[in-house]
Chain A
Amino acid sequence: ETGVTQTPRHLVMGMTNKKSLKCEQHLGHNAMYWYKQSAKKPLELMFVYNFKEQTENNSVPSRFSPECPNSSHLFLHLHTLQPEDSALYLCASSQVQGLGANVLTFGAGSRLTVL
């Protein structure tokens, strides 16, 4: 596979469930990102990892827990979510750290519905 792959593509969970989103990039990039996309709202940055180290946490509630075991894999662990957390969660990667002038390559997203 090439590019950025996200699984699952669709997820429905109850407020008391625990689930995880997975992202894998095959581009040799060193930085990986989680974004939240809600209808008619701008993409909202959640977390940034550079060389496996978290470099940004954009005041995300603790019910979202990221994990980056290596530069190619990124997880978002979910627990006790709220209905307002329903959204499309996008993973992205880039060549180097930071959001300066680097082009992001996005995955297709994981559509999350919290009941």
Chain B
Amino acid sequence: EDQVTQSPEALRLQEGESSSLNCSYTVSGLRGLFWYRQDPGKGPEFLFTLYSAGEEKEKERLKATLTKKESFLHITAPKPEDSATYLCAVSYGNKLVFGAGTILRVKS
């Protein structure tokens, strides 16, 4: 049973083409939702934490939003350096469950 599902599995964008990544979850008692970025050959790097529905956070071209069932990572006018795997993780109880990630490729 999937508790955290990320979609799409892979996404190819042209430079400047805005889009969104999705992270849906089925856990109850959410304590926090995390977004991480992972570059090839590196470990995941923390981007955002969201704690309650309606919360939004921004960093450069990235904006994360949260509802009661899902989170979106919006990428505005992406650049090739935004290419990476984006992971979301959901915290509930004393557990942290990761999604499988979305591989983003931005071509110039």
Contact = CB atoms under 8 A, between A and B. Distances in A.
30 contacts: A40-B9, A42-B4, A42-B98, A42-B99, A42-B100, A42-B101, A43-B87, A43-B98, A45-B96, A90-B43, A98-B94, A99-B96, A100-B31, A100-B32, A100-B96, A101-B32, A101-B49, A101-B51, A101-B91, A103-B46, A103-B49, A104-B44, A105-B46, A106-B45, A107-B43, A108-B41, A108-B42, A108-B43, A109-B41, A109-B42
A99 B43 contact: no
B44 A106 contact: yes
Nearest to A38: B100
B62 interface: no
* Dominant secondary structure of chain A at its interface with chain B: loop
Interface residues of A, number: 20
Contact of B97 (A6, A41, A42): A42
Contact of A109 (B43, B45, B91): B43
* Dominant secondary structure of chain B at its interface with chain A: strand
Contacts of B41: 108-109
A4 interface: yes
Given A92-B43, A107-B43, A101 B31 contact: yes
